[in-house]
Amino acid sequence: MSIGPKSVPDGVVGIYGETIDAALDGVPDDAPLWCFGDQLGPAVYGLPQHAQREVVLVESEAVLRRRRYHRQKLHLLLSGMRHLDDHLGDRSTYHRTRTYREALEQVDRPVVVHEPTSWAAAEFVDALHAEGLVAAVLPTTTFARSRAEFAAWAGEDRSFTMENFYRNQRRRFDVLMEGADAPVGGKWNLDHENREEPPKGTTLGVKEPWWPTEDDIDERVRHDLDDLDLPTVGADGPRLFAVTPTEARHALKRFVDHRLDPFGPYEDAVMAGDWTMAHSLLSVPLNLGVLHPLDAVHAAEEAYQSGDARLNSVEGFVRQILGWREYIWHLFWHFGRDYHRSNELGARAELPDWWTGLDGDAVTAACLGHTLDEVRDRGWTHHIPRLMILGNFALQRGYRPSDLAEWFTTSFVDGFAWVMPPNVVGMSQHADGGRLATKPYASGGAYLNRMTDHCGGCAFDPKVRVGEKACPFTAGYWQFVHRHQDLLRANQRTARAVATMDRLKDLDALLEQEKGRTAF
């Protein structure tokens, strides 16, 4: 199977070309192209409009010091930038400066740049444009649907859901379709086939992901990070994710050829001894811009058409990439600059030191301690530990949503400013009042006992809510329901939980036990 991205993905020029041409009107063909650290793929530097341009890459020490990032996150970012510089050779100029502005002032003429992926960076670029350091600001090309097209589709007042958006995406890009309107197999959503509990044993038993081989560039990155002595969190370790288009092509091919078929049924299961299971590990190259989402979904679709992967697995993967990921990207802009400050549930507790320090050893609950260790060791877990262990625990304890979103952004190797506010503030913490998700994603230990293999060896019992063996997720769930009972009673999807709580004979003891509880 031949899998991109060897060049600009099919369709990208058609989607963005006219807008790019309009923005470049009057700009010299050889004006340098400034690429941010998440714009490292051919869908940016490989566009025909940039054929004659020098590429400017800037490694800003001020940006690296601005937050307490995971050590491996910084390694991936710098490795990706420096590998692109090495690949482009004389076409590229690499600046290591204190600030972005300092580097751009060293360039002998105004640069062109594609829209960055955060509100703060976008405002900074607009200011540079007004000052004349930037000649043109072009649309972001590392997503399938343009921001302008989404805005026209969503409108100002239109109510839309992820499901509506996903179906529109499938039609728009003709993915897993029979004709113009019918989904392959007759159903749009095969989630009900992708909820298997973890199998017996310690691993899923599928072929390992493709792993990158570190080179001299990685060695130098590690040395330079040591010298910078940045305020990082997490452990250093071998580079586990693709950071170049070639590496992304290898990682995608391994996933499609050997892991996509078993991916679907167990995509929501968690196994302590198998951190990758059958997940693709493509979020990093996607978010660095070295893998385009259209390349990923077309490769998966081809695997279904050739009989190499079952439909529910392919549909589940397409839903993640062309559906949810694109949805989150567009909602980040659609919801506005201050969305990350949303706090409709009034959650104001500070993140504990053991949480921000990724100290799993300080935690007794097996699932929570193990997940923190995974973040410490690799800066990555798949979506269920993020949502139903970390997010669920934070929701029950009332951690401040903006702080939690910032923590996810800095502590996860695939976390960027656009990724985490909708995922955390909206989906995980229900802090936006239901604009993104129809109900809070809170659950007790029963869910974790069913979908993970953590509970068997845990000191707590998922069935116990009061006493020394009370599971902090089970007890915390009922505390959460009690605290927000008016909101939950008014929601038909959660009203039953309040009715069940009202029948608990040990509710008073549970609430007293959880008051000020610090040992988990």
Q: Which residues have C-beta within 8 Å of that of residue 269, sequence separation ≥ 6?
A: 196, 197, 198, 199, 277, 384, 451, 452
Q: Please check the confidence at residue 346 and state whether its pLDDT lies above 80.
A: yes
Q: Which residues have C-beta within 8 Å of that of residue 519, sequence separation ≥ 6?
A: 364
Average pLDDT over residues 35-39: 98
Q: Which CATH class is domain 12-138?
A: alpha beta
d(C-alpha 511, C-alpha 480), whole Å:
10
Q: Which CATH class is domain 152-334?
A: mainly alpha
**Helix or strand run (H / E) with residue 483:** helix 472-483
pLDDT for 150 equals 94
> With contact defined as beta carbons under 8 Å apart, do 194 and 267 qualify?
yes
d(C-alpha 257, C-alpha 277), whole Å:
15
Which amino acid makes up residue 34? W
Tens of pLDDT, residue by residue over 207-222, are 999 999 999 999 999 9
User: Domain limits of the chain?
Assistant: 12-138, 152-334, 340-514
Q: Which residue has the tokens 């204190």?
A: 98
Q: Please check the confidence at residue 9 and state whether its pLDDT lies above 80.
A: no
Tokens of 332: 């980040």
Q: Which residue has the tokens 């997490």?
A: 234
pLDDT for 1 equals 36
Q: Please check the confidence at residue 514 and state whether its pLDDT lies above 90.
A: no
Give me the phi and psi of 29, to 5 degrees please.
-65, -20
Using the 8-state DSSP alphabet, how is residue 244 labeled? S
| Homologous superfamily in CATH for domain 340-514 | DNA Cyclobutane Dipyrimidine Photolyase, subunit A, domain 3 (1.10.579.10)
d(C-alpha 342, C-alpha 400), whole Å:
10
pLDDT for 451 equals 98
- Please state the pTM of the whole predicted model: 0.96
pLDDT category at 3 given cuts 50, 70, 90 is very low
pLDDT for 5 equals 44
